[in-house]
Amino acid sequence: MKKAVFKIGGSILQELPKSFYQLLIDLKEKGICDPVIVHGGGPEINQALKQMNIESTFVDGLRVTTEEVLEVAQMVMSGTINKRIVGLFQGQNGKAIGLSGVDGRLLQAKPIHNGKLGLVGEITKVETSWIDMILKEGGIPVISPIAAGEGEIRLNINGDTAAGAVAEALGCKLILISNIPGVMETINQKEIIHHHLTKNDVEAMIASGVIYGGMIPKVRSALASLKGGVEESVILNGLEPDNILKYLDGEKVGTILREKEIAEHV
């Protein structure tokens, strides 16, 4: 069965209906695709840091991560959120297995920008055998984006970046579930959604500021995952789980990202 990585954004995590989890279980049971889940957790990390009076800042959508911040990010994502998602799948009789990128060195990483953002990593390797093992046993892997660095070092990875690396390593489609209908732009005071974007479009939109903050790692990882025969990745609004089925049926929903435009989309 074809695998598909679903990244659940922190922006939408607490609002996703039960039907979302049921849909993913159905896709697996019907043999449509074998879901692999990677989640984020930005807003809940923010909340926990605030409660502890710990400041944190972002550079191009990435959280500058001190040791103190890393401990909180790990607690929130590998603990609270990861187990909550596993529980939600189990509530629908799904066989979910939660693990972080540290477990079994599933996600291996090195510090990004020579450590200028602190303990923020970029993925160097994905130990896909752990994912394949879970899938082979009929499970749904649920992965938290804290990665193993050198030795005992752990690194904070943006959820989109982690999901893109997992999709790339598995050679499968990446479906980014977020709180927006897709990549938006205001033109002549009207908000429009871009249904198809290429690498060139995206870089121009980042340069002009149309794409900013958390959308930057999202579009970049969506494009970076397009290797080994995977032609497109997609950004969808998770509040309407029907969007996933519509997308899989070829309907025009969300934003599809491709290396280059194909003829019928011009």
Ligand X SMILES: CC(=O)N[C@@H](CCC(=O)OP(=O)(O)O)C(=O)O
Ligand Y SMILES: Nc1ncnc2c1ncn2[C@@H]1O[C@H](COP(=O)(O)OP(=O)(O)O)[C@@H](O)[C@H]1O
Q: Binding site membership: which residues? A: 41-42, 63, 156
Q: Quick one: which segment of 20-28, 40-48, 168-176, 234-242 binds ligand X (CB under 6 A)?
A: 40-48
Does 156 contact ligand X by CB under 6 A? yes
62 contacts: CB under 8 Å, gap ≥ 6: 112, 117, 120, 158, 217
CB-wise, 23 or 38, nearer to ligand X? 38
Instruction: Catalog residues that contact ligand Y under the rule CB under 6 A.
Output: 9-12, 40, 42, 159-160, 178-180, 183-185, 210-215, 218
Look at the block and give the residue holding tokens 């449509």: 32
Distance CA 241, CA 161 (A): 23
Please choose which of ligand Y, ligand X, none residue 94 contacts, taking the beta carbon within 5 to 8 angstroms, the exact cut-off set by kind: none
Does 42 contact ligand X by CB under 6 A? yes
- Distances in Å between the Cα of 229 and the Cα atoms of 103, 172, 175, 261 are 29, 8, 16, 15
Closest of 13, 10, 146 to residue 70, by C-alpha: 146
Contacts of ligand X in 53-82 (CB under 6 A): 62-63, 73
Supply the angle between the helices 215-224 and 199-207 in degrees, to the nearest 10: 160
Contacts of ligand X in 224-263 (CB under 6 A): none
State the Cα angle at 161 between 68 and 23, rounded to 5°.
110
Of 78, 82, 108, 158, which one interacts with ligand X (CB under 6 A)?
A: 158
Does 214 contact ligand X by CB under 6 A? yes
Does 141 contact ligand X by CB under 6 A? no
Binding site for ligand X (CB under 6 A): 9-11, 40-42, 45, 62-63, 73, 120, 145, 156-159, 214
